Amino acid sequence: MLALRAARALRGARRFSDASGGLQLSFAAPHTVYYFETSVASVTLPGASGEYGVTAGHSPLAEQLRPGVVAITHKQGEEPEKFFVSGGFAFTDAEKTEVSALEAVKLEDIDEAKVRAEYAAAAKGDDDDSKAAADAAKAMAAAIGVTL
């Protein structure tokens, strides 16, 4: 009984923190979890039909992601933390956003020379896989401010 009451109180407390702490973000790639139910101010996602921003209280939305930049603003007014994702899906509702990426790396970890080499290798082929690889390399280059 006591445990039940404690659980209920906790749940209430959590709802309260949701309202004050902003958006609950989960952001993970298969082998790495970057954030799990962490409070952030807002997040910008590279949706297949265009980039979109999410803050707390967003209407429910499921969207596929294209290769691009996920920008997480931890506190209002701060510089966002940027990640490159190669694709995936994002689910948003009023309280939380779950971003499931195929592959995600911090923007500052991207090596320009390697991106160029990757693009050069992928541009040679003409099947679907190498086209996708070329697109991803292009998006990665754009994310770090290089045009290929």
Partner 1 sequence: MALRAARALAPRAQQAAARRSMATEKEIAMRIASTKNIRKITSSMKMVSAAKLKGDQNRLAAAKQFAAWTAVLDEPATPLEELEGTAGLADHSVVVAISSDKGLCGGVHSAVARGLRTINARLKEENKTMNVIAVGEKGRSQLRRMVPDSLTTALTNIPPPYNFGYASTVAQMALDTEPEKTGAIAVVYNKFVSAIAYSPTLKTIAPFVLEGDDVTLTAYDADDDVLRGLREYYLATEIFYGMMEGATSEQSSRMQAMENATKNAGELIDKLTLIYNRARQARITTELIEIISGASALE
Q: Does 52 bind partner 1 (CB under 8 A)?
A: no
Cα 79 from Cα 71, distance rounded (Å): 9
Cβ at position 61, least distance to partner 1 in Å: 5
Q: Which is nearer to partner 1, 6 or 33 (CB)?
A: 33
Q: Specify the DSSP class assigned to residue 82.
A: E
Show Cβ contacts of residue 33 under 8 Å, excluding neighbours closer than 6 positions: 27
The answer to whether the CB of 88 falls within 8 A of the CB of 102 is yes
Stretch that binds partner 1, among 1-9, 61-69, 120-128, 140-148 (CB under 8 A): 61-69
Beta-strand pair 88-92/61-65: antiparallel
Cα 36 from Cα 14, distance rounded (Å): 15
Q: Does 50 bind partner 1 (CB under 8 A)?
A: no
Cβ at position 29, least distance to partner 1 in Å: 7
Q: Does 17 bind partner 1 (CB under 8 A)?
A: no
Q: Does 33 bind partner 1 (CB under 8 A)?
A: yes
How many Cβ atoms sit within 10 Å of the Cβ of residue 126? 8
Cα 40 from Cα 127, distance rounded (Å): 40
Stretch that binds partner 1, among 15-23, 25-33, 38-46, 124-132 (CB under 8 A): 25-33
Indicate which single residue of 9, 36, 106, 131 sits in contact with partner 1 (rule: CB under 8 A).
36
Beta-strand pair 68-73/42-47: antiparallel
Q: Does 125 bind partner 1 (CB under 8 A)?
A: no
Q: Which is nearer to partner 1, 17 or 64 (CB)?
A: 64
Cβ at position 37, least distance to partner 1 in Å: 9
